[in-house]
């Protein structure tokens, strides 16, 4: 018998040579016991949930109005034309994403970022909404759907303005 491993215990059988795993060694350590509380009992598992704190309910309401105004302004037909169809889907999705970003960051614990970062991202999203409004809504400002888009844009800017207090 050739000894491939001189440090191997002679009572332990050698590993299989066919590449299969023979399972854990017989002296494997068991898993650690579950943690206990101060009374020595195992605590009941708690449900993990997202805690949403609304520090600024007015900003949250403005965020909801921003999303609703932008989406409805894009999808409601006015004078036989939808604003969505006049600008293309990329600009429409960009405006919706900016409004949703403002709404999501208006909720305290939904997006795990610091308050300063949230305020900066909200300001950028509000700038995107204003740019979108100037490029696509302002030229057709006399239509009824542009009123909803204008309300949504102003609400988004207002929510971002109220969110700036987080940095001070």
pLDDT bin (cut points 50, 70, 90) of residue 54 is: low
Average pLDDT over residues 138-158: 90
d(CA 89, CA 66): 18
Asked if residue 50 has pLDDT above 90, the reply is no
- Domains of the chain, by residue range, sit at 57-167
- Residue bearing the bigger pLDDT, 15 or 128: 128
Strands (E), the chain: 77-78, 81-82
d(CA 10, CA 30): 24
Residues 66, 99 contacting (CB under 8 angstroms): yes
pLDDT at 17 (0 to 100)? 63
- Residue bearing the bigger pLDDT, 163 or 61: 61
pLDDT bin (cut points 50, 70, 90) of residue 168 is: very low
């Amino acid at each position: 018998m050739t000894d491939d491993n001189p440090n191997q215990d002679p009572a332990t059988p050698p590993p299989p040579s066919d590449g299969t795993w023979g399972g854990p060694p017989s002296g494997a350590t068991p898993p650690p016991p579950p943690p206990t509380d101060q009374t020595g009992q195992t605590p009941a598992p708690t449900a993990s949930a997202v805690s949403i704190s609304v520090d600024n309910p007015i900003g949250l309401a403005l965020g909801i109005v921003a999303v609703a105004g932008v989406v409805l302004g894009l999808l409601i037909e006015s004078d036989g034309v939808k604003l969505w169809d006049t600008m293309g889907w990329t600009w429409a999705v960009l405006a919706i994403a900016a409004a949703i970003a403002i709404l999501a960051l208006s909720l305290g614990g939904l997006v795990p970022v610091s308050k300063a970062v949230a305020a900066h991202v909200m300001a950028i999203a509000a700038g995107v909404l204003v740019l979108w409004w100037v490029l696509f809504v302002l030229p057709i400002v006399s239509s009824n759907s542009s009123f909803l888009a204008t309300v949504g844009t102003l609400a988004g800017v207002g929510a971002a303005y109220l969110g700036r207090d987080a940095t001070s």
